[in-house]
Chain A
């Protein structure tokens, strides 16, 4: 298997801001690769370099076997891109934008386009400024998905979509992968990447901190639980997989490795559950913990 994208030691500075500080990223052909990092960590900057829109200060970048800066236009025939911040031309309709971008890329399949418009419930007749953020994003998504590009580069494509549309999007990405296409999907939401990606790279402050398959990163995926119990639980903090628990009488807050969720829940129900909320940890929490752990290990 060859690599669709390989980046190593990538550095990019804007004035005094060091946006990328030795970033590494490898995306294999045919995989859906999650590109994960908190806001401002350098995802969009990396993607812009991959597209030849920015020139790197140093580091090696290969995209589909070429140099993204030098061979930009030839490489662009083979990829489709959805920007993080989609802005449209105020006096062009969504349908016109989709057709135009398709033609500039080398032609869209009209049947596929019609199907995508229907699935995303997008009205192609509205003009640019009449679309909400989510709908502008849908325009860019339909344009990209309707192309026959071998590589899709999607920069936080779901940030404006409602949960229903997010599901449609996820199904589309899975179909693309089954069709043999490579997808680079940037996101700052861990759970989204978990649902779709074969492999994940996590970056922070312009550096890659973790990369590997989801199973490799299982130690990173925990669930935060807050519960109000009928009686004080005993021995909860000592269960395997439970971290940073905070037990105050019948009120419980804890984080648990997702693969140990079962035992913890059994334990809680034994004490009687009055209320319960659970959510995946945010990336920031994860980093905080990850780096605290590393510091403690040393």
Chain B
């Protein structure tokens, strides 16, 4: 039996298992790429408009950090894909790494792999087929995305390079996941490790890009996502940069396949530690259990929010002064109420982004309920005197209070840093903190939607992510696509007062709280009435 025997059978199985998820990813990513390119292209159809736009980006560290640089202000292609090249590549990376872990370590942990390993299956077959699955997914994404960009009217060579940006990023993070899958015994930890590599890549690139011409822009070159950007589609098409991702993939995969051949099935590189023989006295309620299961994740998110808040707070002041003096941006500046208006708008947008992230936290925290249920661990708890509503409320409370904590920490850090830079803590800190707090009802609505899905239609609880994605796209692309107001109104984030700067309006906030409470109640009632499992 060779090491790779059985790879094709496993690949078929994997593609079958992912027959819904993969097309969904491909559809959303392709639609995002082509839709954004199409609408941006028609908005900036003159050279002057493009120059202005590029200049605006170049002077705005927040844009540079979040979305990256524009390498050729004259190129319509470079402008059209600027917004999605790095952010989209990060999403492709998430798709690829989740796929690989799902078909390697997660299967190994659950024992499914053992079941098939007893058949004719080589040691490397699972890893090989998982990587092939990821490769297939990336190819299936490559073709329509490139074809769509060409159809929109962008140059062929640039479109192919753009496709390669995403393909290379996807495969780099598939390779990272192949490696982290060997390191630990838990799929969850393996996912976490791979996602942190992605996070570090994003941060390195963000600092490098925002550093400007005199700063440490070489930081971008340390990051796989930086290489993606440096392929420069439509702005020089630098094919040779592909050498870096290819080398990276070869090294990671070499290490991963070496490890997989040496270790036992089920074992990781990092040996599991022993636990206590007895539970501490505080571990005596279902709420304590929920807290124990979720506290590590919440701690990691809190640190992330503290750092992001501080970074956003430190950037706020530079935004207004750096916009530049071309006529278009001056107009914009005036319309937004001068320098302080710009800063306010930046802070409000920044808190909106934090709110989307806090919603993602809330959704995944609620999803723990379903994981506990289908993993049959809920059964053991619900066969004791813990009631259903009580049990579900424990995890729901962590989702709601945890996301609240995240927004408070993010807002507090942003406010402290922003206040300290301006030497005006007394007014700036409460301003920023308020703009964070006012986002909370919208975040709770996301948690509540997921709770309602869990209670009423548990099979579709993953749609919580879909709802979040729709709200995200509405917020990001709605203004670009000039969507009708009623469509924008679907998203709770549309109703959040744009503090600081705009006027505080209590009615929409109260309504959001009411909607969140009603959905939570509906979800809990539904769960009390339905079958478990």
Which residues of A sit under 8 angstroms from B186, Cβ to Cβ? 90, 129
Interface residue? B423 (CB, 8 A): no
Interface residue? A77 (CB, 8 A): yes
Which residues of B sit under 8 angstroms from A96, Cβ to Cβ? 275-276, 278-279, 283
Interface residue? A76 (CB, 8 A): yes
Across the interface, A89 reaches (CB within 8 A) one of B272, B278, B286, B377, namely B377
Are B376 and A83 in contact, CB atoms less than 8 angstroms apart?
A: yes
Which residues of A sit under 8 angstroms from B531, Cβ to Cβ? 53-55
**Chain A: minimal CB distance from B502 (Å):** 45
Interface residue? B292 (CB, 8 A): yes
Q: How large is the interface on B (under 10, 10 to 19, 20 to 34, 35 or more residues)?
A: 35 or more
Interface residue? B477 (CB, 8 A): no
Q: Which residue of A lies closest to B372 (CB)?
A: A89
Question: What is the number of contacts between chain A and chain B, taking CB atoms within 8 Å?
Answer: 115
Complex CA distance for A270 and B238, rounded to whole angstroms = 92
**Chain A: minimal CB distance from B527 (Å):** 12
Are B292 and A124 in contact, CB atoms less than 8 angstroms apart?
A: no
Interface residue? B380 (CB, 8 A): yes
Does more than half of chain A's interface fall in helix, strand or loop, or is it mixed? mixed
Are A95 and B278 in contact, CB atoms less than 8 angstroms apart?
A: yes
Complex CA distance for A87 and B376, rounded to whole angstroms = 6
Does more than half of chain B's interface fall in helix, strand or loop, or is it mixed? loop
Are A95 and B379 in contact, CB atoms less than 8 angstroms apart?
A: no
**Chain B: minimal CB distance from A131 (Å):** 11
**Chain A: minimal CB distance from B41 (Å):** 49
Complex CA distance for A73 and B386, rounded to whole angstroms = 6
Whether A127 contacts B275 in the complex (CB less than 8 A), given A54-B533, A104-B285, A105-B385, comes out as yes
Which residues of B sit under 8 angstroms from A99, Cβ to Cβ? 278-279, 283
Complex CA distance for A106 and B530, rounded to whole angstroms = 26
Interface residue? B382 (CB, 8 A): yes
Across the interface, B533 reaches (CB within 8 A) one of A53, A72, A76, A105, namely A53
Residues A97-125 near B (CB distance < 8 A):
98-101, 103-106, 124-125
Task: Please report A residues at the B interface, Cβ cutoff 8 Å.
Answer: 48, 51-55, 72-74, 76-77, 79-81, 83, 85-96, 98-101, 103-106, 124-127, 129-130, 140
Q: A48-B533, A127-B274 are in contact. List 20 more A-B contacts (CB 8 A).
A: A48-B532, A51-B379, A73-B387, A76-B386, A77-B385, A81-B379, A86-B380, A88-B377, A93-B274, A95-B277, A96-B283, A99-B283, A100-B279, A100-B284, A100-B289, A104-B285, A104-B286, A126-B275, A129-B272, A130-B272
Task: Please report B residues at the A interface, Cβ cutoff 8 Å.
Answer: 109, 185-186, 188, 272-279, 283-286, 289, 292-293, 375-377, 379-388, 529-533
* A-B pairs with beta carbons under 8 Å apart, 6 shown: A51-B379, A53-B383, A76-B383, A76-B386, A80-B383, A127-B273
